[in-house]
Amino acid sequence: MSSKIVELQGLRCIAIISVLLYHIWPDLFVNGFLGVDIFFVISGYFMALILLTPKKVNSFKNFTFSFYYRRIYRILPLYLINIFSTLIIVPSISYTLKWPDFLLQIKSALTFSTNFAMLFEDRNYFDTSLSFEWFKHYWSLCVEMQFYAIIPFLAYFCRKLPTWINLFLIWPSIIAVSQCLSIYMLVNFGQIGNNFTFGMLPTRIWQFSAGFCVFYALKYFDEISDCKFLIFMLHVLRHSIITNVLAVLLLSITLFPKILNQAYAQIGTIVLTSILIAGIGRQKEKEELQFSILSNRFIVFIGDASYSLYISHWIFVTFSNILFEHSEASM
């Protein structure tokens, strides 16, 4: 997609602000980690736009090559720059660095397996003792890269199916299986099951799938455009007042100062994000964007920079923690 959907970038701003605040002040913004869930739904919708928007597909080889080339071109340079910058900066500043562990962290990041490493080493994302792990935040990027590895194959198959089958059967089935697996892991495997559910693609793919459901819902509405009720509902969702209310409600969940039930908060976040995307996921006229919070220039700027902010912020957070602990110890 060549043209930018500005309100989706504004939604990215909500996601990145939530995550950054959580990483900087985890005891204050205790639900900010839900920003990653928002990112996953947005990513699913964008992948649907890229892979399923009608266009001529000469072969499966060209279809997958084009997708992987664009993803690698966008993601990999900054991803690798951050790893090698960390490799250079951290040893020159940190005097307590444990080299074997540090090199294992780099290896996991380079092989897009940080989430696997955290699982096999029984490291909980919410464990504050992990605050000095230099690539802790890479877990979500690894989940996303693993999703990218499989999605062209699934999307190529889905392109051949009617819209209603995708909307009411294929993607809801993926969501249901993923949720059932989450429940099974949580019930039967205790903390390991909790770590698996939080950080692994099979139990996260339902969030990407929610983005695909939004894409197919909008496509389905186009195909039955004679339904006045659906046209009215879409018109309501696209209104800036509704967009602003939903955006503020979503932000109030991710920045709520008390711990929310993770399951309910996660589902609420995914549902709200999906509804928001249904209203903002297509181009709007300039007049329609005039009163939308998500189209504010500064908010869109933050959204545009969300990937750069996410991938580079953790080293600054970690060094701040080191300095803070050092100053406390010396008092």
Q: Which of 119, 110, 120 is nearest to 142 (CA)?
A: 110
Domain interval for residue 264: 6-329
Contact at 8 Å (CB) between 24 and 317?
Answer: yes
In-domain check, residue 257: yes
Q: What pLDDT is stored for residue 234 in this prediction? A: 85
Q: Which of 44, 86, 65 is nearest to 314 (CA)?
A: 86
In-domain check, residue 34: yes
Q: Provide the greatest CA pair distance for the chain.
A: 72
In-domain check, residue 215: yes
In-domain check, residue 1: no
pLDDT band, residue 144 (cuts 50/70/90): very high
The rounded distance, in Å, linking the Cα atoms of 193 and 183 is 9
The rounded distance, in Å, linking the Cα atoms of 282 and 223 is 16
Mean pLDDT of 69-77: 93
Mean pLDDT of 233-261: 93
Identity of the highest mean pLDDT range in 57-66, 186-195, 218-227: 186-195
- Count of domains forming the chain: 1
Percent of the chain scoring above 90 in pLDDT: 71
What is the distance, to the nearest Å, from the Cα of residue 154 to the centroid of all Cα atoms in its chain?
Answer: 19
Indicate the pTM of the whole model.
Answer: 0.94
Q: What pLDDT is stored for residue 3 in this prediction? A: 65
Phi-psi region of 4 (alpha: psi -120 to 50; beta: other; left: phi over 0): beta
pLDDT band, residue 1 (cuts 50/70/90): very low
Mean pLDDT of 18-22: 97
